[in-house]
Amino acid sequence: MKAKFTNLKRFHKQILMILSDQIVIIFALTLAFVLRFGDIGESFNYMSKNWWLFVIIPVITIFFFIRSGLYRAVLKYIGARLIITTFRVTTLSSLVVILLLFFYDPNQFPRSVLLTFWFVSNVLLIVSRFIFKGILYSWDSFQLDKKNVIVYGAGKAGVQISESLKKSNEFRVVGFIDDDQTKISTIVNSIEVYGFENLNHLIKDKIVKSLILAIPSANQNQRQEILKKLSRFPLEVKSLPNLDDIENDLVTLDQIKFVEVDDILGREVVLPKKELLQKTIEGGKILITGAGGSIGAELSRQIKDLKPSLIILLDNSEYNLYNIHHELTITNGVKVIPILSTVTNYNQIYNVIEKYNIDAIYHAAAYKHVPMVELNVVSGVYNNVIGTYYVAKAANELKVKNMVLISTDKAVRPTNVMGASKRLSEFILQAFADQNSKTCFSMVRFGNVIDSAGSVVPLFRKQIKEGGPVTVTHRNITRYFMSIPEAVQLVLQSGSMAKGGDVFVLDMGDPIKILDLAYRMIHLSGLKPIDNNNPDGDIKIKFTGLRPGEKLYEELLIGDDVIQSKHPRIMQAREEKLSLEDVVGFIDMIKKSRDNQDESIIKKMLLQTVKGYTTEFEYKK
């Protein structure tokens, strides 16, 4: 019956509610007569004489209900407005009837019946509405198929979201958690408030799998601290946006989002310096290599927002290039041109820069997956090093104003070919910069970005979704993490501060232990890791051993010679360089290695050229 009613069309529901109200009004009028006279026989005698009241009062009352818009209100969301409207309408209809009685033999009808009717009808109409609402919606909280939810934060946002959840068919709020000691053990919106120390008990006692963080006024550090505490519990954590993102101070279910890893790893936002962002971009013609990759795509998005006159997207992946080009051209504005090319095609790179008179180049094209490059040494080094050399050479010859290389922390004392190839790429730009070039060459070095193609985060997310195991290479392995948008913002600002040959190093914060990251991601998915403390957990963590070329710890600086830049999150490193003659020498060796498909030539060159590079490879002198 309930399902049939809730699935009815809105018009049919309104008809049923009108019929229901008519029955209630007639019953209220009958009861008013009985209460007035105390004798059923005498009551019916008066009712028969005044039968017209049983016609006119329901008609007038229903008419005023319709005019007041009561039947347009959705039953599921009725509240205080219903009470006010009902009182107003019954009062008005009673006054109309009293006025009519002055013209229709007033001696036959005691006025006190109308006063009793006014009181009884108000009570019955209001109670009947809330009973319907309770049966059809609010009392759903007793359904066994609803998910028990805890709301963290018993303030205004928490109350609003709990009220919305009460009306949903999916969730049941079983408690608030709040850090304010004055709220603990109180009842807010018919729900008890608990302290954080009671969370574990609530999870077990109420069988809770989900928690909603409803503290939009908290800053990034406060949110991170709370999420860090919550990540110890097997809860699927969702969150409301920050206060600035909530319109009209009103919280709705649509605003709830899943807590992502960057919410835990994220840092207090440092607002970008607008003048640095716009300096080399606004009104310029920009070339982005590797534009379809994680970093390249975000570079493309942010650069478009800075209003250049032209963006050239260059990538060797047709699929990736199509996606980012399609995304940027959905809305009108900046002209965007896709170029399907590899950066190792010098003639095409030269022609593109010349044809479009490029002002600035952001070189993000590279093979970045450490084990993949380790297994494909010749292809990896040729693409990363020769590609950088050709882009820098063309930029230098055509006097491009700025070129920024996207480097990596793996270029510091590299134990892998990928990192060593990026260090060689840095040498290339430094060498061109030392030639009194008209181009301002610079490079930006940073660690892992969350959700990039080669990041561990999407891998863990996929493994958790599939039920595990989550694979961690080593118990003690650590990495630096930064969100892609923040990294790109800092890259753009670094390029604007460059004077030539600069090595910028981004402040990545503290390194994160990958095992801790795995535990947090499992817990935030509402699951338990299988370990000695939880043998009956949900997801197993499997240690696979370090992969070829992989380090336990990454570094951002080769030496200690570093200075602070104009931006608090950007430093400048002063490191050793190679001459352009030396650069041309290793470029020739890489080309020779590719022609002969002999990776031993490259590994020997890397050992001789890149400080700190180590490998298991042995070669004869």
| Phi, psi dihedrals of residue 77, rounded to the nearest 5° | -115, 15
Other C-beta atoms closer than 10 Å to the C-beta of 462 total 10
- Contact between residue 366 and residue 387 where contact means Cβ atoms under 8 Å apart: yes
Distance separating alpha carbons of residues 562 and 412, to the nearest angstrom = 14
SS3 506: strand
Q: Is 410 a catalytic residue?
A: yes
Q: 392-428 burial, b for 16+ CB within 10 Å, e for fewer?
A: bbbbbeeebebbbbbbbbbbbbbbbbbbbbbbbbbbb
Residue of 96, 114, 513, 451 whose CA lies nearest to 262: 451
Distance separating alpha carbons of residues 141 and 224, to the nearest angstrom = 31
> Half-sphere exposure (CA, 13 Å, Cβ side) for 435?
20
Eight-state DSSP code of residue 532: S
Bridge-partner residues for 176, per DSSP?
Answer: 151, 193
Q: Which of 410, 422, 551, 604 is catalytic?
A: 410
Taking the mean position of all CA atoms in its chain, how far away is CA 175? 25
Distance separating alpha carbons of residues 511 and 180, to the nearest angstrom = 32
SS3 478: strand
Other C-beta atoms closer than 10 Å to the C-beta of 72 total 9
Q: Which active-site residues does the annotation give?
A: 410
